[in-house]
């Protein structure tokens, strides 16, 4: 067989394998995971460092869902994660007030921060229940939407006695880190006495359930 034909077949097979990559777990078919956590166990943290001080904050009012076909994750996954600005906490009430105020994030006018997935690429199955990938999607902050890319790890946990302590149903854990430049979203970080850096590091570690 012609070498170029063989090469083309190998490329097609490799491409199909990547697109069809999925979890090897007990569940089958399409699954939807809800990330609303009334107990507040899900958290997103943010970090800013400046010559004056380091600021560590958390957000725990998180909702949204992620859905996909078990056997074909990369091609079928869809999702949207929403956090409430009102739940942001830096540990100091006055600073929280500035953070959510009209001159900064303006929580009353823009109450939510949203990430909506557009597609994933470079999916790599690192274990039967674990897939790593690059997520591309629209990130909306302060009324401004920009496309961002982040490296994400997704872990699928079949329901068992341990997972039931967290929530009934199978669980999906998502981990990622990315950076946000406040100036890209028309946030004037100087209004807090120049104590907040323009670049904020965001860490996400959340778990959703399919029941």
Model confidence over 69-112: pLDDT tens digits? Answer: 999 999 999 999 999 999 999 999 998 998 899 988 999 999 99
Task: Measure the CA–CA gap between 32 and 80, rounded to whole angstroms.
Answer: 11
**Structure confidence at residue 50 as a pLDDT band (50, 70, 90):** confident
Task: Measure the CA–CA gap between 193 and 208, rounded to whole angstroms.
Answer: 38
Contacts with 146 (C-beta within 8 Å, 6 or more apart), sequence order:
138, 139, 184, 185
Which run of H or E residues covers position 124?
Answer: strand 112-127
Complete domains list, the chain, with CATH: 22-209 (2.40.128.110)
Contacts with 93 (C-beta within 8 Å, 6 or more apart), sequence order:
none
pLDDT more than 70, % of the chain: 86
**Structure confidence at residue 16 as a pLDDT band (50, 70, 90):** very low
pLDDT tens for 161-173 read 999 999 999 999 9
pLDDT tens for 30-42 read 999 999 987 888 9
**Structure confidence at residue 133 as a pLDDT band (50, 70, 90):** very high
**What pLDDT score does 6 carry?**
46
Is 0.95 surpassed by the pTM of this model? no
């Amino acid at each position: 067989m012609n070498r170029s034909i063989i090469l083309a077949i190998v490329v097609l097979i490799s491409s199909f394998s990547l697109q069809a990559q999925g979890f090897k777990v007990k569940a089958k078919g399409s699954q939807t995971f809800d990330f609303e956590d009334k107990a507040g166990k899900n958290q997103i943290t943010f970090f800013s460092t400046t010559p004056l001080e380091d600021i560590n904050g958390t957000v725990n009012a998180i909702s949204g869902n992620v859905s996909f076909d078990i056997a074909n994750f990369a091609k079928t996954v869809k999702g949207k994660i929403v956090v409430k600005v009102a739940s942001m906490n830096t540990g100091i009430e006055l600073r929280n007030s500035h953070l959510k105020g009209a001159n900064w994030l303006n929580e009353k006018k823009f109450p939510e921060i949203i990430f909506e997935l557009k597609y994933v690429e470079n999916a790599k199955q690192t274990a039967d229940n674990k897939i790593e990938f690059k997520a591309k999607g629209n990130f909306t902050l302060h009324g401004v939407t920009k496309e961002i890319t982040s490296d994400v790890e997704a872990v699928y946990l079949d329901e068992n006695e341990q997972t039931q302590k967290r929530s009934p149903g199978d669980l999906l854990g998502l981990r990622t880190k990315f950076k946000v430049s406040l100036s890209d979203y028309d946030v004037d970080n100087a209004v807090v006495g120049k104590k907040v850096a323009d670049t904020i590091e965001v860490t996400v570690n959340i778990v959703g359930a399919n029941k």
